[in-house]
Amino acid sequence: MLFEISTTSEIPIYKQVRDQIVIGIAKGQLKPDEQLPSVRQLADEIGVNNMTISKAYNQLKDEGFLITDRRLGTKVAQLKPQPGPLPPDLFFQLTLILAEIRLHAVNTEQIEKSVQQILTDFFEE
């Protein structure tokens, strides 16, 4: 998996790494139980501080998307289906980004088309 990191972006580097792993899992480029590169390895590859990668991995573990296996290092966790509706903060964030898109005068149909385009790129269960 390739990472594209910008050190000049206003988005913290650790979050860029975390975000790209999230998208990688959603797209099936990273599969459950698949092993990730070690902190040092990835830090070298991207050219950032170990702490930065460590922080990204830790957040992903907290979120339940990664797990640490004593023998194998860090790997992708199994999806745990969440009962009920979307967590409120995800729902809010989705509302916000859709609102921003709407304010660029993109109409509803176009937005739905973009959403479907993105979703078809994701893995099937």
Partner DNA sequence: GTGGTCTAGACCACA
Partner DNA sequence: GTGGTCTAGACCACC
* φ, ψ at 76 (rounded to 5°): -75, 135
Which region among 37-45, 84-92, 99-107, 111-119 touches DNA (by CB under 7 A)? Answer: 37-45
The residues in 69-88 that bind DNA, with binding defined as CB under 7 A, are 70-71, 73-74
* Shortest separation between residue 11's beta carbon and DNA, angstroms: 7
Q: Using an 8 Å Cβ cutoff, are 35 and 49 in contact?
A: no
- Residue 41 binding DNA, by CB under 7 A: yes
- Residue 69 binding a copy of itself, by CB under 8 A: yes
- Residue 116 binding DNA, by CB under 7 A: no
- Residue 8 binding a copy of itself, by CB under 8 A: yes
* Cα distance between residue 102 and residue 14, in whole Å: 29
Which of 45, 68, 96, 115 is in the footprint of DNA by CB under 7 A?
68
* Cα distance between residue 125 and residue 123, in whole Å: 6
Which of 35, 36, 80, 88 is in the footprint of a copy of itself by CB under 8 A?
80
* Cα distance between residue 19 and residue 48, in whole Å: 16
Interaction partner, residue 114 (a copy of itself, DNA, none; CB < 5-8 Å by kind)? a copy of itself
Which of 50, 93, 110, 114 is in the footprint of DNA by CB under 7 A?
50
The H-assigned helical ranges of 47-107 are: 50-62, 88-103
Question: Across 1-125, where does the E strand assignment appear?
Answer: 66-69, 73-76
